[in-house]
Each structure stands twice: as structure tokens, then as C-alpha cells.
A and B are shown apart, each in its own frame.
Chain A
């Protein structure tokens, strides 16, 4: 099967700065692929290159088997986009936003009008269909943007940080809509820095930093490959004796502020020790994507 997206050696320079540094990947049809990376990793730039909105400095790219940028129009006809920053049209009401966007795809007015009610229902915006877009909450705007991205019945939907800045309720609604899309077989490519989002939605993840893809795999594979299965976080108390004990047990230790993270395989003896000292506050949990992410991209602040 031809991949939906096939990128080889994509590079983007801004002056002397390298934003994307030779990334190669394929996206198979029907998959949900997440790009996970800190701010400035090059996620948005990569998506923009796939759309032909950012010319690439080097590399080659084919989408739906068509060459980018030569077939830009034909490629974009089959993609739906949810950009990082909202760009709904404030000159139009909610339903008009969908109709007008449809016209950019050459979809005739009658067809567009027929599609709108279903999309509004999908986005739970039927009641607000006559509202001005600047009266919508952040979550509603995102849902409308997702509905707008579906107006052309796309084969690929790209979402750039679809839930950043939303409250938990709004985020969960978006997740359920994206799951529904996935279940329909739509190929999804999304960027995020929420581990929970990546873990829930994505079949595959690409971890990106400094313009490079550092690793790729399913969430479970990445966890197995990069971190020990169990974590003990010690948050308060005198950790020196505990650290010595953990080290003897072959644990990997990381300090961050007042906390000590202990990654290992057999935690029972360590937990016995921690329970004997009431001054030690700790949390014992299975390792997750966040641990992988921090292991691979480091704990330094990015902006």
C-alpha cells in the first residue's frame, strides 16, 4: 500500500538556523501518528512542509503518492487541517465558516450546505450555528476548526496541538471526536506535548527534538525500549540513605528540584524501606511516556 505521507530527508533552514534537520518517515493509511516534542522541536514546520505552506530547503516529500510541491493543490484538496493558532473567519457566523471554507475547495454551495448540519452535530455546535465566532469559547473554536477540517471529506487530517490551552472537559470532548475519526479509518497526524493525548490516541509516535526524529514506535514499545518499568518518585524527606539503597539495587536515579526519581525493575524492597520512614513522601507508579519523553529530550526548559 502506498503510504499516505512519505518524507525523505526533509530539511528546513531559517537563515543559519536549522529548524528541521533531515527527517524521514512514512505514514501508513488509517494510522494515527503523533509527533511528540518540546516547543521549538520543528513539529509545526514539518506539518507546514507537508502542506506546501513552507518550502523545504532539502529533501523530498510525496503525499498520497503525489509529489509536493508540484502537486500542491491536488494534495491539499484531500487534507483537512487544524492549525496550532485558531484562524476561523471572524467575518462569518459558525455555519457560514463551514460553507465559506467549502468554497475554497471548489465544493458547490448546495453540497456544502448539505454537509454542514452533520459537521455541526459532530462538533456539538448545532445550537451555536448562528453565533459569531468571537463569542465561542476556546473549546468550541477548536471543535469548529475540527469540523471545518472535515468539510472536504479528507483522507488525511493534520492537527497541530489540538488541545493545547483547553480545560480538561474540552480536551476530553476533542479526544472522543478524534477517536471517532480514527474509527472511521481517517489517517491522522497530530502534534502534541501531552503524553496522555499521545498515549490515548496514537498508534505510533515520533519523538522529535531539535529538528530530528529521535525515535519512533508505539507508546508501549517506546516505554519498553527507553525506561525501566517502575518509577518511585520521592518528593520530601532525607533521600540520601534511600538513594544509596536504590543504587545498590541497580536503579537509575534522577534528581529534579526536591524530587528524586528512581527507575528500576524490582521495587518491593525499596518500598519496604520507604514505608519505615514516615518523613519520606513518595509515589510509586508504572513508567509512562512522560518518562520516555524526559529521558530522550532531557529535563531542560525550552522557552
Chain B
């Protein structure tokens, strides 16, 4: 990869990003049935299955009922996977297979607008999925109170973070198969290692230190206490890590997409 040859002009997204966001929302509304089934169905299965199944053996974890522990973790991980799928499979379809970006680039929209719109959309879908899980968790009576709603903007931020990273992957992919690498080597390890299903304090110290560089660790650290109604620590650090990943991902994805499309 000759990265230096890419166009590293600073991103200048404009209002056009919202047109791209609205386009995606309009498509999503057409398919709202399956989308809602997916958003509610999957986390409900996880919560009921794992929550009650494992919860029968585990009384509390990190000072909260296991169901609350799991629900708060899944809000973060589901924001991650939702944004990651949207930013890879769906974005790649529009960028490459359907040539949607080609049509957009012949209008006043710039690639900066398009990728910003896509990233906002990834975050919005992450927010939708978090809202669905939060609703299920509230029905099961495991949320702390109204402060749990803070999980929604946090899920949006998690969506920006993983949306940005997924855009990078899309910008360098030649086909859908390439995404397997990203999911197997990045998304799934985070899902397993970053404290979604168990507290990271149980991991060996070296591993605990290593996973501090992974964004999902910080996503979980923010979402869990907010959902469970406990005090949040190191807010600035966690937010900063997510913002940094989001910003760096967007910039890198933009430079790579410019090299790919504006030739």
C-alpha cells in the first residue's frame, strides 16, 4: 500500500452528509420489519438465554445481577457489531457493487460528505440496536433508572468509532470475503476479550493492559455503569479513546477511499 500517494487533504464534510444519511434511513424504513425483528430478537435471545441460563449459576458479577451485567455489555457489543456490519457489507455494496457513490460524486456531494453520512448512519443504527436492548433490559427490570438512557448517546459514539474503522476496511477491500479477516481478527476477539461477558479483572495482568488499546474495552466501561445505575469512572479517558478511533478511522478511510474512487 503506497499510503503516501493518497490524498491526505483534511476532511471537509458539509451538509451533504445529511442527504446521504437520509438516503440510508429511507432504505432502512422500507425494510423496517426485518430490521426490528433483528434489533429486538437477537438481544432478547441473548439476554433470556445467557442471562437466565448462566444467571442460574452466577448470582452477581461486579456487584450487579448477571442479567444487568450482560445487558449492559451487550448494549456496547451490539453497537459495535451493528456499526461494523453496516460499515463493511452495506457500505461496500454502495461503494463498489451498486456504484451508488459514483452517482453521488457526480452531484455537489464530495467523498467527504458521503463517508461522513455513512459514518453517521452506522452510529444511528448502533443507537437503534442499543435502544432495542435497553427496552428489553428495562422490561426485565435490570436497568438502574432514567440515567440508563445515557447509554444511547454512548452507543452512538461507539457506532461512530466502529463505523470509522469499518469504513477503512471497506475502502481497501476488493470483495466481501475480505471482511472475514476483519471480523475474525478484530471484531470477534474484542467481543470475547473486552469485558462483555465477564469482568476483565479476571484476565492475566498483561492481557488486561493489552486490551486497554481496544476500543470495545472503553465502550463497555462507559455503557455498563450507565445502564446499571452505578457511578462512571474515567469518563474523559473512555470518551477520548472512542473519539480518537472514530476520528482516525474517518480520516484514514477518507484518504483510502479517495485513492480508490477519485482516480
The chain A residues found within 8 Å of chain B, CB to CB, are 14, 51, 53-55, 72-74, 76-77, 79, 81, 83, 85, 87-92, 96, 100-101, 103-106, 152
Contacts and interface: CB of A to CB of B under 8 A. Distances in A.
Given A87-B99, A87-B100, A106-B19, A77 B108 contact: yes
B103 interface: yes
A134 to B, nearest CB: 11
Interface string B64-106: 0000000000000000000000000000000000111011111
Contacts of A73: 14, 108, 110
A84 B51 CA distance: 55
A105 B108 contact: yes
B98 A53 contact: no
Given A74-B108, A106-B16, 12 more contacts: A51-B105, A51-B106, A53-B102, A53-B262, A54-B263, A76-B108, A85-B102, A89-B103, A101-B103, A103-B23, A104-B19, A104-B104
Nearest to B15: A106
Nearest to B114: A104
Nearest to A86: B99
Interface in B16-40: 16, 19-20, 22-23, 26-27, 30
A119 to B, nearest CB: 16
B106 A76 contact: yes
B180 interface: no
B62 interface: no
Interface of B: 7, 14-16, 19-20, 22-23, 26-27, 30, 98-100, 102-110, 262-263
A83 B104 contact: no
Most chain-A CB neighbours within 10 Å: which of B15, B30, B107? B107
A190 to B, nearest CB: 15
Nearest to B263: A54
B106 A83 contact: yes
A233 to B, nearest CB: 41
Contacts of B22: 103
A104 B100 contact: no
A92 B27 contact: yes
A190 B20 CA distance: 28
Contacts of A105: 107-108
B117 to A, nearest CB: 10
A55 B262 contact: yes
The 4 closest A-B pairs by CB, nearest first: A87-B99, A104-B107, A81-B106, A87-B103
Nearest to B19: A103
A168 B106 CA distance: 28
B24 to A, nearest CB: 9
Nearest to A77: B108
Contact of B102 (A55, A87, A91): A87
Given A55-B262, A92-B27, A104 B102 contact: no
A127 to B, nearest CB: 22
A121 to B, nearest CB: 22
Given A87-B99, A87-B102, A104 B108 contact: yes
A88 B26 CA distance: 16
A73 to B, nearest CB: 4
Contact of A104 (B98, B109, B262): B109
A81 B102 CA distance: 11
Contacts of A101: 103, 107
A106 B108 contact: yes
Nearest to B258: A55
Nearest to B99: A87
Contacts of B7: 55
A88 B105 CA distance: 13
Contacts of A91: 27, 30, 98
Given A92-B27, A106-B15, A76 B107 contact: yes
A112 to B, nearest CB: 11
Contacts of B23: 89, 100, 103
Nearest to A93: B30
A152 B102 CA distance: 17
A291 B109 CA distance: 42
A51 B105 CA distance: 9
